[in-house]
Amino acid sequence: MKSITIKGSQRESVGKAASKALRNAGQVPCVLYGGDNVLHFSAPELAFKNIVYTPNVYTAAIELNGKTYNAILQDIQFDPVSDKIIHIDFYQLHKDKEITIEVPIQIEGTSPGIMAGGTLRIVNRKLKVKALPDNLPDFVPVDISGLEMGNKLYVTKLAQDKYKIMHPDNTVVCQVRVSRAAMKAAQDAAKAEKAATKK
């Protein structure tokens, strides 16, 4: 999984007044959990644009006082009026500890059902996966080349090499629906066939 570097400054004061002063200075108050100690730090708001405003999922390499901590974004709070980031929680990653995270799916292949006039409906755009940090995927590949019209693709059909998909076996990822045009064409063909047999 790709990583984004965030250069932060450890903060001593953690009260509401200190947090407000940081925000006024264009900084975002953050907390890093999961280590020996909880770390409070801040970083410029612009440092988070590539990790927050994207459909992709990244890990964060947080640089504090010459040390680097690998983490994932756990929670984020936005101002309800201005929509600016007001607080972020990170969770520290450890090489030997598995973690569960949501990653996007990536559709691959060509479905015969779509070629025949069906439409693809994506039911789950993101899936929860569990893996060691080094094995976290950027996305889960979803091969639709075997889907005929009316078929559904379940999570059990997806590759799970170095990670485990944390959804029940009956979870539908996507399906090829019969489009109105295809349905009408089938009805018209049936009518034509019926009329032909009457002659």
Which is more confidently placed, 185 or 141?
A: 141
Residue 20: what pLDDT?
A: 85
**Domain edges within the chain:** 3-93, 100-197
Could you give the CA distance from residue 47 to residue 4 in angstroms, rounded to a whole number? Answer: 9
| 135-162 mean pLDDT | 92
Could you give the CA distance from residue 39 to residue 14 in angstroms, rounded to a whole number? Answer: 11
SS3 of the chain: the string is CCEEEEECEECCCCCHHHHHHHHHCCEEEEEEECCCCCEEEEEEHHHHHHHHCCCCCCEEEEEECCEEEEEEEEEEEECCCCCCEEEEEEEECCCCCCEEEEEEEEEECCCHHHHCCCEEEECCCEEEEEECHHHCCCCEEEECCCCCCCCEEEHHHCCCCCCEECCCCCCEEEEEECCHHHHHHHHHHHHHHHHHHHC
| 100-197 fold | RNA Polymerase Alpha Subunit; Chain A, domain 2 (2.170.120)
| 3-93 fold | Ribosomal Protein L25; Chain P (2.40.240)
For 23-74, how does the pLDDT look when each residue is reduced to its tens digit (9 = 90+)?
A: 888 889 999 999 888 999 999 988 888 888 888 888 999 999 889 999 999 8
Torsion region of 91: left, alpha or beta (phi above 0 gives left; psi -120 to 50 gives alpha): beta
Q: pTM for this structure?
A: 0.77
